[in-house]
């Protein structure tokens, strides 16, 4: 007999999706690496398996290790800081 998802399976999946989209009550800082300089003080930054384009007032070189601030854990309006 094929596996039939239970109502609790759907409920747990919905709760995971909701929790993933709620803002955190705190900022998160993660370490990344500049992989490309773009125009207008923008940089392409790799964090694990994701790539972000982030604007910064600091100057960075390709392959430089940087800190990326995620306000309230969200990936909008990221801040890029030197890892020094």
Is 36:43 a contact under the CB 8 Å cutoff?
yes
Above 60 in pLDDT, residue 83?
yes
Name the one residue in this structure whose structure tokens are 């398996």.
Answer: 49
- And the tokens for 64? 């430089």
Q: From CA 69, how far away is CA 77, in angstroms rounded?
A: 9
The contacts of residue 9 (CB under 8 Å, 6+ apart) are none
pLDDT in tens, 9-43: 888 888 888 877 777 778 889 999 999 999 999 99
Report if pTM > 0.75: no
**Please, what sign has the CA dihedral across residues 31, 52, 44, 42?**
negative
List beta partners, residue 80.
68
């Amino acid at each position: 007999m094929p596996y039939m998802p239970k109502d609790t399976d759907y409920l747990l999946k919905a709760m995971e999706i909701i929790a993933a989209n709620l803002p955190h009550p705190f900022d998160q800082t993660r370490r990344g690496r500049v992989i490309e300089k773009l125009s207008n003080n923008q940089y392409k930054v790799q964090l694990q398996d994701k790539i972000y384009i982030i604007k910064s007032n600091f100057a960075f070189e390709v392959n430089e290790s940087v800190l990326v601030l995620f306000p309230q854990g969200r990936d909008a309006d990221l801040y890029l800081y030197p890892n020094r």
